Homo-oligomer: A and B are copies of this chain.
Amino acid sequence: MATQSNPLVDDDLVDFLLYSVLDAESLCELEGYRQHSKQTFDLYIDSVRRFSRQDLLPTYKPMDEEPPVFRDGRIHTHPALPALYERMIDLGVLTATRPESVGGQQMPMLIHTMASAYLMAANLSAYGYIGLTLGAGHLIEAFGSDEVKERFLARMYDGEWTGTMALTEPQAGSSLGDISTTATPTDDGHYLVKGSKIFISGADHGITDNVVNLTLARIKGAPEGTKGISLFAIPRLREEDGRLVPNDVTVAGMIHKIGWRGIPSLALEFGDEGDCRGWLVGEPNQGLRCMFQMMNEARIMVGVNGFATASAAYHEARLYALDRKQGRTPGRRNGEQVPIVEHADVRRMLLRQKAIVEGSLALLGTVSRYADVAAHGVSAEDRERADLLLNLLTPVAKTFPAERGFESNVLSVQIHGGYGYTSEYLPEAYMRDQKLNTIHEGTNGIQSMDLLGRQVMSKGGAPLRALADEIGRTVARAREAGCDPELCASLEEAVARVGTITMELGQRGMAGDADGMLGHSWDYLDMFATLVIGWQWLSMAAAARTASISDARKLGTDAAAQYWIRTEIPRISLLAQLCRSNEDSYIKAEADWF
């Protein structure tokens, strides 16, 4: 093991992004964040990072090694969890972003993103219970009636009960229009729910007794498909005469996940005995609309998880490469063996990891900042523009850290050599954890169709114009700051290329050629993300010129920007060509060709 301890996330990077790249302080001028300052931001992040390193990280491996057990109808989770959950509640992690009116600190999402990154990097499963409860609570906060809020919200936000999102059913998977759980209205204000759900994370555990499942179901007689789905709050235990009694929600089985092993993934049965009560959240048949309003946040949080998991592994690899001595560099065949960081091929892997990991956090910070401005910007124009950019970039913020983050995690295993292939070292566990992020909250393939089929084509192309504008400003700033003109020109060209191919694809779509437009949506996403990360690196390189950061960070930032723009940005022309071409190999393929 490396002798230095893993910092999980680089503090200097976070400071650099917050205060030199993303001007977090300027958010405090917005109405919603007036109560905040650099001091409150730092205080919060500091307390979270200390807790993450000292308390959370030491519990990560034990939880990976002792996953939950399903016994006598209940789930038994790791004994360290209840105390950790309580500490996170005390630190204000759960309600950091929620308004003061419901007991929150009304922090910008940007700050929440940075703080969550430490928690997730330290122990993603332990944080998972917070994330799920926040998502479920937020749904009730946004769409619940006063009665429903009173019944559930305070007890979720104060840590007494946790929450889940219960969407998936065995026969439907990602196809939410096909869910078949039913809800029958009663005269008592609640519905009687019956059905099966699968892959429900954290629906039972040893942290708190009660869990509120935010569940999609069909009210009897509702329209078919996505238009007939409603949202319900279904607690594991319901209140009756001041006591908590079972609500006919049973755990039917536990899935053996290959990562995130501190949090159980469950199959649930609602209403086996005909007495499972659910409370409608929002209007009938508006369940998917409600859910999707929360999806941006959920997808960004998947991105943060992707970053965090890759970051912890990157630092593990970095420390190992500094410590582990093996072989000699070319031309120096004699003498002591050298740390493997001296080998160019190891530095190639480390720099690629750095470019992916830090590029991801920069993007997630940028997107979170748009979310803050979309919510609290001064003018309607500011808010709309930020909202456009937020929606456009969210599929990238979800997929890039997951997809390339996994690649980065794999490099961390590779740098560890034979040791990386053992469970005595951490990289293989991070690699397992990361894989989920390309699958959940909409697979990355589905995100690529959202990006190309929906986001870039919306509002007559306004989102992409706004992005091109932002990138143009970054390029101008980089030129002024004295960044390598070749890198600036390369990014400028890339924006133009992406704009052109997008217009061409849009025209195909308008001409009714859906296959021609969407057939290469995966390549489009890859191209788009490559551009976006190039933009983030140029932005960091420009800011680094004048920021008060160490010389090593300055040089490292320049090197990573150079690496990404010279190694990855050239792929954009190939990917655009693929999107344009009639390369139809898999589009035309029949099932029996495989």
Contact = CB atoms under 8 A, between A and B. Distances in A.
Interface string A426-466: 00100010011011100111001100000000000000000
A341 B592 CA distance: 10
A589 B556 contact: yes
Given A424-B256, A593-B559, A586 B418 contact: no
Interface in A507-528: 514-515, 518-519, 521-522
B418 A435 contact: no
Contacts of A413: 435
B571 A567 contact: no
Interface stretch (A1-9, A95-103, A323-331): A323-331
A391 interface: no
Given A175-B326, A351-B589, A593-B559, A420 B448 contact: no
Contacts of A331: 514
Contacts of A423: 256-258
Contact of A354 (B326, B341, B594): B594
A538 to B, nearest CB: 14
A296 B350 CA distance: 29
A377 to B, nearest CB: 36
Contact of A418 (B328, B422, B439, B581): B439
B422 A333 contact: no
Nearest to A556: B593
Nearest to A354: B594
Nearest to A555: B593
B417 A586 contact: no
A522 B585 contact: no
A255 B424 contact: yes
Contact of A257 (B350, B421, B519): B421
A511 B394 CA distance: 50
B422 A257 contact: yes
A447 to B, nearest CB: 10
A446 to B, nearest CB: 8
Contacts of A436: 421
A594 B556 contact: yes
A342 B589 CA distance: 9
Given A418-B199, A439-B417, A585 B566 contact: yes
A560 interface: yes
Interface in A44-92: none
Contacts of A175: 326-328, 337
A174 interface: yes
A566 B583 contact: yes
Given A173-B418, A418-B440, A590 B555 contact: yes
A140 to B, nearest CB: 25
A344 interface: yes
A307 interface: no
Given A258-B422, A522-B345, A559 B414 contact: no
A326 B172 contact: yes
A587 interface: yes
Contact of A586 (B347, B410, B581): B347
Interface string A389-423: 00000000000000000100010011001101111
Interface string A550-594: 001101100110110011001100100110010101111111111
Contacts of A443: 414, 417
A247 interface: no
A128 interface: no
Nearest to A314: B594
Contacts of A444: 414
B350 A559 contact: no
A275 interface: no
A259 interface: yes
A94 to B, nearest CB: 26
Contacts of A322: 591
Nearest to A10: B594
13 contacts: A171-B325, A172-B326, A175-B326, A255-B418, A347-B586, A352-B586, A414-B438, A414-B444, A417-B443, A555-B590, A562-B585, A563-B586, A567-B585
Given A257-B423, A428-B432, A555-B590, 18 more contacts: A172-B337, A255-B418, A258-B421, A258-B422, A258-B428, A321-B591, A344-B515, A348-B445, A349-B445, A414-B444, A552-B590, A556-B592, A559-B585, A566-B578, A567-B583, A567-B585, A571-B571, A574-B574
Interface of A: 168, 171-175, 178, 198-199, 224-225, 255-259, 265, 318, 321-322, 324-328, 330-331, 333-334, 337, 339, 341-352, 354, 406, 410, 413-414, 417-418, 420-424, 428, 432, 435-436, 438-440, 443-445, 448-449, 514-515, 518-519, 521-522, 552-553, 555-556, 559-560, 562-563, 566-567, 570-571, 574, 577-578, 581, 583, 585-594
